């Protein structure tokens, strides 16, 4: 066994994944289970999440005593110092204690971070952001999250809101967003918007390949659209291009603001690859005229399905000093309570 070992937890809206990871970023074991996100938080954490951690540790042939720390990424606004989730629309949480209930049953210090900020840490230590001083990460999934690294540090912001890139306005009078604003890139470029555009293309008779592949409109998802587009369905290609253009407007605003070394695009929707990224890059090229065209590379993130647990593991490894810290691991961290 190669110490130190940590556990990274990725808590999503429909399932939780945990992985045992070492400081080199090697995954020793993983476990996953479906969850009911409407369950009371204490039960969800103390039961489902804790059991998933135990499963992963057991599969690695270890006991919890051999795990030095646990990192956890979850969607929402996180108060790291208190180990509390201030606000998570996905779980319907407001000021929910997350670290403490887990620490009580697992007896290992638990560190929290927003899921896409955690993914960004993962890219920094183990992925496409390794050795890059400043980069921006956008994860296109059910929502759109983001993370920003400047001078090797993860930007947290004044209210833990730094990098909330899904809520950049791309159409001032655009559709309502879950956040309460209008025309956010999340409302126009995340998976639900992609699926809706796909259904509209099918209804308008513009995407016969997609219609045939999906069978029924309800079965249309981001992955179906990508598959149909890869097979040459013109309507599906246009749907991906439109999403690429919307995300491109947001990426252009971020590049204009920060002039980073690199932009990474991750999340499930990014599986469309260049069918999405080429229209995105073209939109950025049209809008970012103050720096040389193409000066900022825009690439797919490296970690893919492992992004959640690897990011959370990077957080845990940083917190216990086994990776160079990209953020301040505060003195009020939950470990002090153990």
Binding site for its own copies (CB under 8 A): 77, 134, 146, 148, 150-151, 153, 155-165, 167-172, 177, 179-182, 249, 252-261, 286-292, 295-296
Question: Least distance to its own copies from the beta carbon of 130, Å?
Answer: 17
Nearer to its own copies, 212 or 291 (CB): 291
Nearer to its own copies, 47 or 238 (CB): 238
Strand order in the sheet with 153-154: 153-154, 144-150, 135-140, 262-266, 298-300
Question: Least distance to its own copies from the beta carbon of 67, Å?
Answer: 32
Nearer to its own copies, 1 or 295 (CB): 295
Strand partners, 15: 34
What is d(CA 31, CA 221) in angstroms, rounded to the nearest whole number?
26
Please answer whether residues 137 and 301 qualify as being in contact, where contact means their C-beta atoms are separated by less than 8 angstroms.
yes
What is d(CA 314, CA 70) in angstroms, rounded to the nearest whole number?
10
What is d(CA 57, CA 33) in angstroms, rounded to the nearest whole number?
14
Question: Least distance to its own copies from the beta carbon of 58, Å?
Answer: 38
Residue 281 has φ and ψ, to the nearest 5°, of -60, -40
Nearer to its own copies, 42 or 258 (CB): 258
Nearer to its own copies, 139 or 148 (CB): 148
Nearer to its own copies, 33 or 289 (CB): 289
Question: Least distance to its own copies from the beta carbon of 84, Å?
Answer: 15
Question: Least distance to its own copies from the beta carbon of 293, Å?
Answer: 10
Nearer to its own copies, 59 or 181 (CB): 181
Both tokens assigned to 217: 């409109």
Question: Least distance to its own copies from the beta carbon of 299, Å?
Answer: 15
Q: What share of the chain is helix, strand, coil (3-state, %, to 5)?
A: 45, 20, 35
Nearer to its own copies, 130 or 286 (CB): 286
Q: Is 152 left (phi over 0), alpha (psi -120 to 50) or beta?
A: left
Question: Least distance to its own copies from the beta carbon of 154, Å?
Answer: 11
Q: Which of 249, 269, 265 shows the shortest CA–CA distance to 257?
A: 249
Both tokens assigned to 19: 């992985």
Question: Considering just the CA atoms, what is the radius of gyration of the chain in Å?
Answer: 20
Q: Which of 300, 322, 302 shows the shortest CA–CA distance to 313?
A: 322
Nearer to its own copies, 61 or 294 (CB): 294
What is d(CA 210, CA 198) in angstroms, rounded to the nearest whole number?
8
Q: Which of 120, 123, 111 shows the shortest CA–CA distance to 146?
A: 120
Q: Is 131 left (phi over 0), alpha (psi -120 to 50) or beta?
A: left
**Residues listed for the chain:** 338
Question: Least distance to its own copies from the beta carbon of 174, Å?
Answer: 9
Question: Least distance to its own copies from the beta carbon of 66, Å?
Answer: 36
Give buried/exposed letters for 143-157 (b at 16+ CB in 10 A, else e): bbbbbbbeeeebbbe
């Amino acid at each position: 066994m190669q110490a130190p070992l940590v556990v990274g937890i990725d808590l999503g809206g429909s399932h939780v994944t945990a992985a045992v990871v070492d400081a080199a970023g090697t995954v020793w074991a993983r476990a996953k289970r479906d969850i009911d996100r409407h369950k009371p938080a204490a039960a969800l954490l103390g039961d489902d999440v804790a059991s998933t951690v135990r499963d992963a540790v057991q599969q690695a042939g270890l006991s919890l005593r051999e795990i030095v720390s646990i990192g956890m990424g979850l969607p929402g606004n996180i108060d790291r110092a208190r180990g509390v989730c201030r606000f998570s629309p996905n779980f319907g949480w407001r000021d929910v204690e997350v670290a403490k209930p887990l620490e009580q049953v697992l007896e290992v210090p638990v560190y929290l971070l927003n899921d896409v900020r955690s993914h960004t840490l993962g890219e920094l230590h183990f992925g496409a952001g390794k050795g890059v001083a400043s980069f921006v990460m956008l994860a296109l999934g059910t929502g759109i999250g983001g993370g920003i690294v400047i001078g090797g540090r993860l930007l947290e912001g004044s209210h833990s809101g730094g990098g909330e890139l899904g809520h950049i306005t791309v159409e001032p009078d655009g559709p309502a967003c879950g956040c309460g604003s209008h025309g956010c890139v999340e409302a126009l470029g995340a998976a639900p918007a992609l699926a809706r555009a796909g259904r509209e293309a099918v209804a308008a008779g513009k995407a016969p390949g997609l219609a045939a592949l999906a069978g029924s409109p309800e079965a249309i998802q981001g992955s179906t659209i990508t598959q149909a587009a890869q097979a040459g369905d013109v309507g599906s290609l246009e749907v991906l291009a439109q999403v690429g253009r919307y995300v491109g407007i947001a990426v252009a605003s971020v590049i204009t603001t920060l002039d980073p070394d690199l932009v990474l695009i991750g999340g499930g929707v990014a599986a469309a690859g260049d069918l999405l990224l080429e229209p995105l890059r073209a939109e950025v090229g049209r809008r970012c005229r103050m720096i040389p065209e193409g000066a900022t590379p825009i690439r797919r993130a490296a970690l893919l399905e492992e992004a959640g647990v690897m990011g959370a593991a990077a957080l845990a490894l940083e917190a216990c000093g086994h990776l160079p810290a990209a953020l301040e691991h505060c003195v009020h961290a939950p470990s002090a309570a153990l």
